Each structure stands twice: as structure tokens, then as C-alpha cells.
Amino acid sequence: MSGVDARQLWLRFEPYHDVTYFTPESRAATDALGCKGGWMGYFGMRAAPLGAASPELVTAVFYNFAPRMVARALPDAWAVASPSAFLDARLEGVDGALRRLLGDVSTPEIVEAASLARDAASAACIAGRPLAAANLALPWPSAPHLALWHACTILREARGDGHVAALVAHGVGPCQALALYAREHSLDPAYMRSARGWSLEEWEAVSDLPGDLAAVERATDAAALAPWEALGVGRTSRFIDLMTPLALRIASANEAMRVNPMALDPVRELAVPGWNT
């Protein structure tokens, strides 16, 4: 769609989605369930829309985590709490985090952004996108700030599912994708290995393999445009305007996302003079 940059949209909805997992409120909610560590909470909350999914299924759809890392959390998480309990916990954590990070969560801007995002998310293509489909099937929260989060989550997972499809189509494996991404974005390889559970031997075995990440990113962006084509240029531009200050405020205050495997830095990439005045 002419005039719409899929990456610029991602930079705006990804920080809003990421409070799902990487905030003190999120960790407290899963600790209260009885989770043993933050990663059990992460896998439980993110996989919960799929039901009591096996570690093999979650490894497949999450794609870049080492199987052993997933297996340390699943299926044990489902013995700690049911998928529905994890869904309740993630909504509780999101609500607390957004109220702390944004303050007033009932502003006209958030209400309008939620309406636009819901229309976009409802138009997301879910064919071949299991995480997007599973989240879209969940009930919509009634509070606007949570409806906006739910829409951002659907859009995020739809883009992620499309990214996995692009990686598979271009023959780039899970660990290989991380190694290529780390090199391209000057990320610490040791951090990237640790964040996704790969061994040094596994990393070194794929780090010199060729792979066209630029082509993967182009394919990912192209596959992520359908919601915005449905929304239209004018409403998409309005969504961008509404989400920019929200993304910046969340990113600047969310210490847990200072360093991340996505090389996501909205404060640098979206900085607008006077945005926080």
C-alpha cells in the first residue's frame, strides 16, 4: 500500500504489546500463579491462546527458541495453572503495567486508537498464522486500553507468523536467523544465545551460513500490510499519530525492554521533538 511503512507501524504497536511479558506487573501475575521463573510465565502466557500446547508445537510456532528452553517451561506450566488462568494473569499484568506507564488510560486518544486498531486487527489475515488466529478468537476486553492491547497483540502475532513463514521460505533456520540478526544489528551473540537458549556449539554451526535477511524482512513487511490496506491510508496515518506518543512513553519508561533480541529501540527510531513536553 503506497505511503504505508509496515516497519514504522510495527515500531508503534510492538512496545504496547510487549508489556504483556516484560514488566514487573507481568512477572508478579505469573509468580502469583506459581510459575517457577519468568520464562515459565512467558511461555505460559504467550502460548495460552493455543490451549495446553505441547513444547513441540510451541517450539514450532515461536520458531527461534531452542527446543530445550521451551521444554523447561512446558508442559510443566499447564500443571501450575490452566491456559485460561494464564490468560487472566496476562490481562491482569497488562492492565497494571499500562496504568503505571501511561497514567490515564481512558483518554480520547486511547479510545480512538483502540477503535482503529480493532478494525485493523479484525482484518488481519490469519491463514497460516496460528498465533494470530488463536488471539483473534479470544474475547475482546471492554476497557479501551486493554482492547488496544489486544489488537496490538493480534497485529504483532500476525506479523510474527508471517515472519516465520518468510524465514522458512528463504531457508533460514531458527538459530541461524538469530546469528544473522545479531551480526546485522551488532547485538551481543552471547546475549542472543542466552535469550533463546542455544548453545555455543549450535550457534557456531550456523553463524557462517548464508542467508538473505533483507529479503526476509521485505517479505515480512509485504505480508503484514493487509490490516492497513483494509483500514485505509487516512485512518492508518491517524493510528500512527495516536500511537507514536504512547509507544515512546512506554519504551522510555519500560526498563525491562532496554535491551531486547529484536533490536527494538523506539526512543531512538521514533523520537519526535517535543513529544514528552
- The answer to whether the beta carbons of residues 266 and 15 sit under 8 Å apart is yes
Q: Each residue of 24-82: pLDDT tens digit?
A: 999 999 999 999 999 999 999 999 999 999 999 999 999 999 999 999 999 999 999 99
Distance of alpha carbon 26 from alpha carbon 226, whole angstroms:
31
The sign of the dihedral angle between the CA atoms of 249, 230, 121, 167 is negative
Task: Look up cell 533480541; give the residue.
Answer: 261
74-121 pLDDT, tens digit each: 999 999 999 999 999 999 999 999 999 999 999 999 999 999 999 999
pTM recorded for the entire structure: 0.94
CA atoms of 126 and 175, how far apart (whole Å):
25
Q: Do 229 and 93 contact (CB within 8 A), yes or no?
A: no
Grid cell 490496506 — which residue? 229
Phi first, then psi: give them for residue 274, nearest 5 degrees: 80, 10
